[in-house]
């Protein structure tokens, strides 16, 4: 075994960029001097203009110029990135044929915006930032495959049934055409698995567990939204927990967010079975959402809605507490939306592991209520209102925390992609110090 996930983590080393930051006036100080609203506007403008301008160059047909995905991009793109460099890890982004990524985006723009779209956002941010990295100098190799953009199911949700096949094809290609996969058996290759149960590629936990992580991915590094404390088949590979994707402009949809009147006490809108369906023995949300509705559906402090409403984010912006109960999976985009909209997330999903804990300190900005304690939810929330509500709200407005949850199309210091790089750097350091004759060679 080259990398043992059970090894104790060494104390988190600050990446060079972070060390530089700590020495100079801190990022948060700089940010605090401006209003978060203005900053968000700037971020939005930047990411939007990049999104328009930085469409990556089309891949050359693999057969005509093999291996096309090894030709590195011109240096110019890399130079114009943010002033402070991100963590020192160098990543080579494979230039795979379009059928693995761009074609999906061209076929349906939802591909770049929905809850699993971190696979697109990370690709674009890494491509922009690392265009000058040559494969022979890379620490890690990013394999950009969009598996969440097949909206062919009757309900319009992304179908994942083709995911394993598409990934297997990509791995075959990379393994055949370039020397790097075989060198490490894929251990320095990075994939995004942003679905319910991450690299198990199925929305139902029992099926996901039965299927497991495909063998060809088991030695690689997976960036996945799924994460729980303790062992789980779907996280039995080196991985980094990433936030669900929410379009960066979400926080700008509502003007003067900080001043919004929070006239809703506790908010939830979403799927919530009145009579939990017992589809082959499975209960949606382990019945938590049903219990929420049963206990608080008639309580005027709780604003619980089951119907879809496109403007639900304006409701979140009016709410003090936003309930984030598990669905099929423990996580949902509500986690990020709540933070961006200044609504305190109330996480009801036992054992959930949340993204970037060293930067975000989730206990400062959210509440966790055990699934079995839904009955005392109102009491917990009342207690917070009477004691530390303003402390949590103040923490929630920290632009550093908010930024860490947002994937920009162009890498920005402190944003979600930057945090991923920071965690990858920690993984690299660990693998190098814990194993004599590192897997990187
Ligand atoms: C998209 O998903 C459908 C249904 O799961 C599947 O039949 C189809 O082959 C997929 N399309 C591609 C291009 O993989
Ligand atoms: C990597 O190994 C596989 C399986 O042994 C082999 O088919 C492939 O040609 C190798 N790739 C390269 C670039 O040598
Ligand atoms: C749900 O369905 C499964 C399989 O059909 C069955 O074994 C189980 O008893 C059912 N559970 C309830 C609570 O009805
Ligand atoms: C606020 O109070 C709750 C309930 O007493 C507690 O669990 C939580 O840790 C506190 N949070 C902060 C940030 O003070």
Substitution site in 98, 100, 103, 152 for ligand 1 pocket (most atoms within 8 Å of beta carbon): 152
Contact 427, 221 (CB under 8 A): yes
Atom number of ligand 2 nearest to Cα 182: 1
Q: What is the number of other CB atoms lying within 10 angstroms of the CB of residue 212?
A: 16
Contact 400, 414 (CB under 8 A): yes
Whose atoms come closest to the Cα of 206: which ligand? 3
Which residue's CA is the nearest one to ligand 4's atom 3? 384
Atom number of ligand 1 nearest to Cα 160: 5
**Cα of 103 to ligand 1 centre, how many Å?**
14
Burial of 9 (0-12, 13-18, 19+ CB in 10 A): exposed
**Cα of 158 to ligand 4 centre, how many Å?**
37
Which residue's CA is the nearest one to ligand 3's atom 10? 281
Structural domains in the chain, CATH included, are 16-245+407-434 (no CATH), 249-403 (3.40.50.2000)
Per-residue pLDDT of the chain (441 residues; tens, 9 = 90+): 333 333 333 333 333 333 333 333 333 333 334 444 444 444 444 343 333 333 333 333 332 233 444 444 433 333 344 445 568 899 999 999 999 999 999 999 999 999 999 999 999 999 999 999 999 999 999 999 999 999 988 888 889 999 999 999 999 999 999 999 999 999 999 999 999 999 999 988 999 999 999 999 999 999 999 999 999 999 999 999 999 999 988 877 766 777 788 999 999 999 887 666 666 667 888 899 999 999 999 999 999 999 889 889 999 999 999 999 999 899 999 999 999 999 999 999 999 999 999 999 999 999 999 999 999 999 999 999 999 999 999 999 999 999 999 999 999 999 999 999 999 999 998 887 755 444 443
Distance CA 226, CA 200 (A): 10
Query: 387 in ligand 4 pocket by Cβ < 6 Å?
Result: yes
Any idea how long the chain is? 441
Q: What is the number of other CB atoms lying within 10 angstroms of the CB of residue 287?
A: 14
Which residue's CA is the nearest one to ligand 4's atom 4? 384
DSSP sequence for 184-249: HTTTTEEEEE-STTGGG--SSHHHHHHH-S-GGGTTSEEEES--BSS--GGG-SEEEE-PPP--GG
Tokens of 120: 């697109």
Tokens of 333: 């985009």
The backbone torsions φ and ψ at residue 69, rounded to the nearest 5 degrees and listed phi first, read -75, 0
Query: 99 in ligand 1 pocket by Cβ < 6 Å?
Result: no
Buried/exposed 54-92: b ≥16 CB within 10 Å, e otherwise: bebeebeeeeeeebbbbebbeeebeeebbebebbebebb
Whose atoms come closest to the Cα of 346: which ligand? 4
Contact 424, 432 (CB under 8 A): no
Atom number of ligand 4 nearest to Cα 388: 1
Query: 159 in ligand 1 pocket by Cβ < 6 Å?
Result: yes
Tokens of 178: 């370039």
Distance CA 128, CA 135 (A): 15
Question: Does 408 sit behind a cis peptide bond, omega within 30 degrees of 0 on the bond before it?
Answer: no
Model confidence pLDDT, tens digit, residues 358-398: 999 999 999 999 999 999 999 999 999 999 999 999 999 99
């Amino acid at each position: 075994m080259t990398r043992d996930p059970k090894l104790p983590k060494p104390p988190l080393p600050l990446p060079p960029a972070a060390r530089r930051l700590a020495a100079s006036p801190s990022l948060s100080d700089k940010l605090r001097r401006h209003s978060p609203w203005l900053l968000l506007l700037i971020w939005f403008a930047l990411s939007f203009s990049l999104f328009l301008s930085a469409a990556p160059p089309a891949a050359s047909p693999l057969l005509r110029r093999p291996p096309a995905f090894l030709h590195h991009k011109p240096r110019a793109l890399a130079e114009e990135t943010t002033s402070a460099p991100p963590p020192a890890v160098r990543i080579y982004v494979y230039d795979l044929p379009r059928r693995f990524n761009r074609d999906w985006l061209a076929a349906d723009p939802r591909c770049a915006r929905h809850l699993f779209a971190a696979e697109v956002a990370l690709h674009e941010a890494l491509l922009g930032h690392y265009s000058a990295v040559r494969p022979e100098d890379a620490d890690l190799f990013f394999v950009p495959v969009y598996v969440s953009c097949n909206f062919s199911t009757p309900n319009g949700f992304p179908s994942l049934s083709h995911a394993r096949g598409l990934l297997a094809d990509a791995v075959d290609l990379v393994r055949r055409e370039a020397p790097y996969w075989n060198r490490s058996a894929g251990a320095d290759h990075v994939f995004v698995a942003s679905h319910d149960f991450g690299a198990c590629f199925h929305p139902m936990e029992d099926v996901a567990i039965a299927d497991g992580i495909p063998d060809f991915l088991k030695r690689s590094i997976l960036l996945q939204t799924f994460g729980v404390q303790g062992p789980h088949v779907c996280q039995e590979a080196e991985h980094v927990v990433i936030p669900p994707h929410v379009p960066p402009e979400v926080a700008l949809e509502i003007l003067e967010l900080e001043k919004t009147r929070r006239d809703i006490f506790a908010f939830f809108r979403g799927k919530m079975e009145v009579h939990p369906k017992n589809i082959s023995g499975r209960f949606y949300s382990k019945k938590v959402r049903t219990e929420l509705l049963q206990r608080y559906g008639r309580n005027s402090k709780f604003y619980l809605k089951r119907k879809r409403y496109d403007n639900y984010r304006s409701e979140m912006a009016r709410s003090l507490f936003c309930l984030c109960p598990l669905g099929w999976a423990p996580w949902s985009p509500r986690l990020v939306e709540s933070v961006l909209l200044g609504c305190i997330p109330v996480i009801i999903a036992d054992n959930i592991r949340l993204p970037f804990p060293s930067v975000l300190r989730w206990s400062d900005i959210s509440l966790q209520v055990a699934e079995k304690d839904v009955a005392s939810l109102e009491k917990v929330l009342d207690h917070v209102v009477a004691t530390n509500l303003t402390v949590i709200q103040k923490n929630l407005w920290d632009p550093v925390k908010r930024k860490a949850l947002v994937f920009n199309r162009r890498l920005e210091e402190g944003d979600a992609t930057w945090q991923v790089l920071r965690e990858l750097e920690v993984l690299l350091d660990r693998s190098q110090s814990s194993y004599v004759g590192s897997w990187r060679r």
